[in-house]
Structure 1
Amino acid sequence: MEGHTESVYGAQFSPDDSKVLSCSKDKTIRIWDAASGKQLKLLEGHLHWVNSAQFSPDGSKICFLIWEVSSGKQLQLLEGHTLAVNGAQFSPDGSKIVSSSSDKLIRIWDVASGKELQLLKGHSREVNAAYFSRNGSTIVSCSNDKTIRTWDVASGNQLLVFLGHSELIKGVGFSSDSSRIVSCSTDKTIRIWDVKTGHQV
């Protein structure tokens, strides 16, 4: 699949595997037919390169700006971060988006209105990723401040800080039952953590 004019930073299948989504340094998101490789939609509107893009659970929308897949129309403009958005993810029910940014902040957004629901403060450096748990009640985040943090979605309160990595933490995620967290770091290690205690497993 060719069409981007700069480096491609991410790609993923739609939930039904019929389409592929890509995002790029060329400030565009593109939707492709997975079978033929043909470009279906070109989504333009981002002012800077697009580090991350994701389908909603039902495959009808794309974030970080919220786009309608069928029409390619921009539905919502999510404004608030002052530096690069490093990642964004829909909640499991598709009603919310969590975004992580180099401005050290995490924001939770309402998909329908585009309004900010929660502002999560605690990291002291760039936030590289943030993800919802499977039931959508908790968020896990990782940062260049060498910490992993969990947050309560409803209140926005920080739950735990996970310490152990000696360098930048670049990725994090929940296990399928959300009882554990896995993280990876530039310290050359991958670690697994207990969500309830914050201890390494």
Structure 2
Amino acid sequence: MEETPVILVTAGYDHTIRMWDALKSTCTRSIPYTESQINRMALSSNKHYLAVAGNPRVSLYDVFGTSEQPVLNLDGHKANVTGVEFTQDYKFLATCSEDKTIRWWDIYAGSCRRVLDNGSIVNDLAIHPDSRQELVISCDQKGRVRVWSLKRQEILCQAVPQSDVAVRSVAVSPNGQLVVAGNNLGQVFVYRLTIDSSPQTGRIVELEPYINFDAHDGYKITRVLFSSNGLYLVTCSADHSAKLWQLSERVLPAPNGSREGVIQPGAELVHHLEYHLRWVWDAAFSSDSGYLVTVSSDMRAALWDISSGTVIREFKGHGKALVCVALNDATG
């Protein structure tokens, strides 16, 4: 396989990883994965490695290699691996699982450096974009959003958007200032993540409620994700659709003659992306935030033009439900 600037990968329940020529909608490489279904995937920022989360193993593949065998297997989880993400320097990998733990892996050593015990099934995670903070954000089956310190291996703060309603997916904005969580009732909760460090008090990390809205009318949210430029938020859902949002702030007239107006945050629906025939499970933005790929139980992947909200290509070939996608088309 010749190196290409666009790496697009899809997988799901047919035990096959497929890599695509995104411009021609043709499959360029197919890798069998017979151990289990595939739950989630991630591409390293240098495009060389693909992390595949199954049950219970995580496997790393050489994107530009020819072997069907992984270059590294990460064993340690005891149940379905539900989330996987590389650090920006692709030296470390974070995973979470139905075994109620989060694991922090050293890629070069091929070993687990940290095990965080969450106490309940972990549905998703996100790594804070500022590596100096050493923070991982998780969400779980009991409805909690937690911020973890990797160094201290402890919970720094948590939020419970709605008691006993599972939070399915979590995302952190590219600037690290917002945390978004989507739950089983179709609701989205946005928090301000504040990090205050001082010699006197040490580091104080807080999740401050910012805005919440009903995104999918009671249908389960399967994925929330920010675009690379932070302007867009996509939500995927069991209602067979995805929605593209813009989070914004507007200044309301000041009450009682005060000179300072009141800032009101809001979420504007940019596009209701209706194309798939079954659940939409996952999505991935292009590096310029101009395009979006979605995957569905209808066995199709769709490439969307964000400016128009229309499908410009589709990718067919899988024999069962598609539940995960990874895309890296960065040029620098």
SS of corresponding position for 2:190: strand
Gaps of 5+ in 2: 1-73, 139-145, 195-205, 249-265, 313-332
SS of corresponding position for 1:157: strand
1:199 offset after TM fit, Å? 1.7
1:85 offset after TM fit, Å? 1.9
Where does structure 1 differ by over 6 angstroms across 4 or more consecutive aligned residues?
none
1:140 offset after TM fit, Å? 1.0
State the superposition RMSD in angstroms: 1.8
Letter in 2 for 1:178: S
Please report the TM-score for the alignment, with normalisation by the length of structure 2.
0.56
Does the C-alpha gap of structure 1 residues 76 and 198 become closer, same or farther in structure 2, counting only changes over 3 Å? same
Letter in 1 for 2:211: Q
1:126 offset after TM fit, Å? 0.5
In structure 2, the partner of 1:42 is 115
Letter in 2 for 1:8: V
Distance 1:61 1:98 in 2: 15
Please report the TM-score for the alignment, with normalisation by the length of structure 1.
0.90
Letter in 2 for 1:52: D
In structure 2, the partner of 1:148 is 242
Deviations 1:130-162 (A, max 9, x none): 111222122111101011111121222222211
Deviations 1:100-119 (A, max 9, x none): 22121111111222122121
Say if 2:127 is the partner of 1:51: no
SS of corresponding position for 1:52: strand
1:47 offset after TM fit, Å? 4.2
Gaps of 5+ in 1: none
1:98 offset after TM fit, Å? 1.5
Higher RCO structure (Cα 8 Å, ≥6 apart): 2
Distance 1:175 1:35 in 2: 27
SS of corresponding position for 2:207: coil
Say if 2:198 is the partner of 1:104: no
Letter in 2 for 1:197: S
In structure 1, the partner of 2:156 is 75
Distance 2:230 2:240 in 1: 24
1:33 offset after TM fit, Å? 2.2
Does the C-alpha gap of structure 1 residues 58 and 190 become closer, same or farther in structure 2, counting only changes over 3 Å? same
Say if 2:187 is the partner of 1:115: no
Q: How many residues align?
A: 200
Report the structure, 1 or 2, having the larger strand content.
2
Question: Which residue among 177, 185, 194 is the counterpart of 2:296?
Answer: 185
Say if 2:208 is the partner of 1:126: no
Check the 8 A contact 2:101/2:119 in 1, yes or no. Answer: no
Q: Which has the larger radius of gyration?
A: 2
Percent same amino acid among aligned pairs? 25
